[in-house]
Structure 1
Amino acid sequence: MSQLTEIQQQILSRSRNSINGTKKFINRLKRLLPVSYKQSIKQKLKPLLMLKTRIELLTVGMHPLAQDWCSRGINVHRIYLEQFLQSFASDIKGHCLEFQEDSYTSHYGSGRVTKLDILNKEQAHSNATIIADLTQPNSLPSNTFNCIICTYVLHLIPEIDRTIAELYRILKPGGVLLVAVPDITINHSVYNELWRFTKRGLYFLLAKSFKPENITMKTYGNSLVAAGELRGMAAFDFTSTQLNYNDPRFAVIVCARAVKSN
Structure 2
Amino acid sequence: MVKLLRKILKRLKRNTVSPLSWTSLRNLQPLSTTFGFDRGTPVDRYYIEQFLKANTAHISGSVLEIAESRYSRQFGHGVHTYEVLHMKQEPQVTIVGDLTNPGTLPENRIDCFICTQTFNFIYDFKSAITGAYYLLKPGGVLLATLAGITQLSATDMKQWGDYWRFTTQSAAKAFGEVFGEENIEVSSSGNVLTCTAILQGIVTEELTTAELDFNDPVYPVIITIKAKKRLHGIDQ
Which TM-score bucket, shorter chain as reference?
0.7 to 0.9
Is 1:120 the equivalent of 2:86? yes
Matching residue of 1:219: 188
Q: SS in structure 2 opposite 1:203?
A: helix
Alignment of 1:97-112 (within 5 A): 97-110=64-77, 112=78
Q: In the alignment, what sits opposite 1:163?
A: 128
Unaligned runs of 5+ in 2: 1-7, 232-236
- Give the TM-score normalised by structure 1: 0.76
After TM superposition, which residue ranges in structure 1, 4 or more long, deviate above 2 angstroms?
55-58, 136-141
Residue identity in the other structure for 1:65: L
Report the Cα distance in structure 2 between the residues aligned to 1:100 and 1:53, rounded to whole angstroms. 36
Q: Which residue in 1 is equivalent to 2:32?
A: 66
1:245 aligns with 2:211: no
TM-score when scaled to structure 2? 0.84
Equivalent pairs counted in the alignment come to 211
Out of 30, 54, 66, the residue aligned to residue 22 of structure 2 is: 54
Q: Which amino acid aligns with 2:81?
A: K
The root-mean-square deviation of aligned C-alpha atoms, in Å, is 1.8
Counterpart among 48, 55, 59 of residue 81 in structure 1? 48
* CA shift for structure 1 position 236: 1.5
Cα displacement (A) at 1:135: 1.6
1:257 aligned to 213, 219, 226, which one?
226
Higher helix share: 1
Distance 1:210 1:186 in 2: 29
**Cα-to-partner distance string for 1:97-116 (whole Å, 9 max, x where unaligned):** 11000120011003x10111
CA distance, structure 2, for counterparts of residue 175 and residue 90 of structure 1: 12
Decide which of 188, 198, 209 is 2:178's aligned counterpart: 209
Say whether residues 1:184 and 2:149 are aligned partners. yes
Say if 1:139 and 1:71 are closer, same or farther in 2 by CA, change over 3 A: closer
Larger Rg: 1
CA positional deviation for 1:142? 1.8
Matched-pair contact (CA < 8 Å) for 2:190–2:219? yes
Structure 1: 5+ residue stretches without partners: 1-34, 43-48
